[in-house]
Amino acid sequence: MLFNSMVKRDLFSKVLIGIFVILAFLITFSLSWFRVFDVYELPLLDIRFQLRPTPYIDNKIVFIEIADDSIEKIGSWPFPREYHAMMVQALRSANVKSIFFDIFFSEEKKGDQELAQEMRIAGNVYVPSVFSADVSQELDFPLADEYEAEILDEFSNAAKGTGHINIIPDKDGKFRRIPPFIRFNGEYVPQLGFLMALDLMGVDIKNIIIEKGRYIKVNKDINIPLDERSNIIINFPGKWVDTFRHYSYVDVIRSYQAKAHGKKGIVDLSELEDSVCYIGMSSTASPDVHPSPYEPLYPGMGLHASLYNSIVNKAFIFRVSKAVNIGIMFFLMLCTYLCVQYTKKRYSILAFIIIISVFSFLAFIIFIWFGAWIDLFCPLFEAVLFYVATIFLKYLMEIKQREILEKELSIATKIQQSFLPLKVPEVSDMEIAVNMITAKQVGGDLYDFVKFTDKKIGIMIGDVSGKGVPAALYMAKAVSLFKQLVDNIAPENTLKQLNEILCKEASSNLFVTMSFAVFDLEKRVVSFSSGGHSPIMLCRKNEKNSIELENKEGLPLGIMECEFDKNKHSVEKGDVYVFYTDGVTEAMNKKGEMFEKERLAGVVLKSREKTAAEILSQIQQSVILYEQGNQHDDITVIVVKVG
């Protein structure tokens, strides 16, 4: 029966675990593959940006800001084109490498010819366009069907390069991606900053190798990673005010004018030599400010400059593939399962916290060193979900195992009880009452009655070291051997023979204390012997104190071979003999105080006029009341009253 229960339990566990793993696989695969939690994943990416050390920033990148001060001093926005023409003159005079206008020239205005002429002379000016594009397609660049802001032919012909400046918002509304190309009218229109970076590196855009959804190979040293929608993830170097060099638009203009008149300006234009200049809006009311990982308002030209900075420094951010993220999640799930299965309950939560903390730390370190964006939220969410589910599954299995164990223990209890006397034998002029209360379903206390004649009976009581199933099995063995050995012989010889067998067969490190007494009411004498057991308590009818019937020698049975004392004591009418195990005298209250022999003697002395059954009831009630539900050991009491 036990074998069948174990087989069924094992099969149930395997089926349950199998179903759970399959469900976990399907849930994990779906959540990760379809980026369900990206709205929560993206803020965790931002935290990595904010906590990492500041990366290398190219000192040649310069922002010329059209901020509130410039608008206030010049008068209004948009500025007359003459100002932009003067700006190109000023930057040309400073020998800058490139000029990036983050300003649209899509409408004809006064001063266009002058600005276009300055662009031709400078030969290093880049002007943008913006498309209305569909960014939903995977493994391809966005597809545009029309312009939102088209460059006038006059400027596109005058500029060194033209391209788009579209940026892609993520699910949370922040801007972290730039498409390197947009498909329009069968052609690939490059991103303006990307084109400018290629020109400055001397790379012809026609010679680059594009693997959509994977990378752009610029040359043998530079591979720009792409996400699954073929966008470049922007490697922001920091907050707007903390990165790159910043100059005021109006200050540069006025400094150029001052220099032309031989005066010193606010800005030393020589500082701009060999720089890459980005000209654009940064005023608080500008429509070209967007939320970024670092701050809610980040000027658009900062995104383009960050892209250029990452290209020239070969420092890119890339998101690991879906397959890698799923593999990481399964590894975390495996670690979580091992954590739950092979750590103690009180340590499993600590071990789990260590696992997810180490994973989070490694993800952060990998981001800093390699620019690899490993998903955090989905794996952590799955790990927590799996941890809770595994704990719950383990709890269910433990309940199932407990139910099976309780059934097995119930059977074991019945088997154990079968080794004990079914009823108390009747003896002339003697009342006998007995009861056993086990601390667990099975216990290690034992007793037996051997009726030799109508007026001669043997009473044995014992206590196996330990508790539970091992003690119960040892108890069954001791009782069985006792029944085989007991005969109309002296108690000390019975214990000696039993001890010799238990010592020879000792293999469990258990032993049993035992007292065996033979009452002969014809001779009015009791013969007894004990092997390390609690002494028999005797309360005489007219005496104020109890008497302890104990041995001088005799070790517990099963430890080593030894001799046992032969003892005799007279039996008188009204005598009350109490046999008990140490679960009575060592019973503890909530203060940790023991019941002790004196308290037991007091109960017996007060109730000795009652029947044996009533005396037994008084003893057990006193012990139970004293412990207040805190029983820690088996309690066995035999009361004998001589008539």
DSSP result, 33-57: HTTTTHHHHHHHHHHHHHHSPP---
Could you tell me if 34 and 82 lie in one domain?
no
Residue with tokens 């035999």: 638
Could you tell me if 435 and 575 lie in one domain?
yes
Could you tell me if 366 and 444 lie in one domain?
no
Could you tell me if 140 and 244 lie in one domain?
yes
Mean pLDDT, contiguous 10-residue spans, the chain (643 residues): 49 68 76 88 96 93 96 92 97 97 95 96 97 84 94 97 95 95 95 96 96 95 94 96 95 95 93 97 87 94 96 96 91 89 86 95 96 95 87 80 71 72 90 90 86 93 84 87 85 93 82 95 94 94 88 85 91 96 92 93 94 95 90 91 92
Residue 416 lies in a domain: no
Domain stops at, among 279, 314, 349: 314
Residue 129 lies in a domain: yes
Quick one: which of 160, 205, 199 has its CA closest to 312? 199
What whole-number distance in Å separates Cα of residue 89 and Cα of residue 115?
9
**For the chain, how many structural domains are there in total?**
3
Could you tell me if 111 and 19 lie in one domain?
no
Identify the domain containing residue 23 by its residue range. Answer: 2-43+320-402
Quick one: which of 130, 132, 69, 76 has its CA closest to 101? 130
Residue 543 lies in a domain: yes
Helix (H) or strand (E) holding 625: helix 612-627
Could you tell me if 633 and 618 lie in one domain?
yes
pLDDT digit string, tens, across residues 392-415? 878 877 787 777 766 766 666 677
Residue 451 lies in a domain: yes
DSSP class of residue 426? P
What whole-number distance in Å separates Cα of residue 239 and Cα of residue 236?
8
Predicted pLDDT of residue 16: 67
In this structure, what are the phi and psi dihedrals at residue 119, rounded to the nearest 5 degrees?
-65, -40
Could you tell me if 327 and 261 lie in one domain?
no
Could you tell me if 325 and 293 lie in one domain?
no
pLDDT digit string, tens, across residues 97-110? 999 999 999 999 99
Domain stops at, among 261, 280, 314: 314
Question: Residue 141, exposed/middle/buried by CB under 10 A (0-12, 13-18, 19+)?
Answer: buried
Residue 414 lies in a domain: no
Is the dihedral angle over the CA atoms 622, 624, 626, 632 positive or is it negative?
positive
Could you tell me if 630 and 489 lie in one domain?
yes
Q: For residue 588, what is the domain's CATH number? A: 3.60.40.10
* pTM for this prediction: 0.69
Could you tell me if 300 and 393 lie in one domain?
no
Residue 415 lies in a domain: no
Domain stops at, among 280, 314, 348: 314
Could you tell me if 233 and 129 lie in one domain?
yes
Q: What share of the chain is helix, strand, coil (3-state, %, to 5)?
A: 45, 25, 35
Could you tell me if 91 and 164 lie in one domain?
yes
Quick one: which of 604, 596, 598, 600 has its CA closest to 574? 604
Residue 329 lies in a domain: yes
Angle between the 322-342 and 345-370 helix axes, to the nearest 10 degrees?
A: 160
Residue 50 lies in a domain: no
Q: Concatenated DSSP letters for 325-371?
A: HHHHHHHHHHHHHHHHHHS-HHHHHHHHHHHHHHHHHHHHHHHHHH-
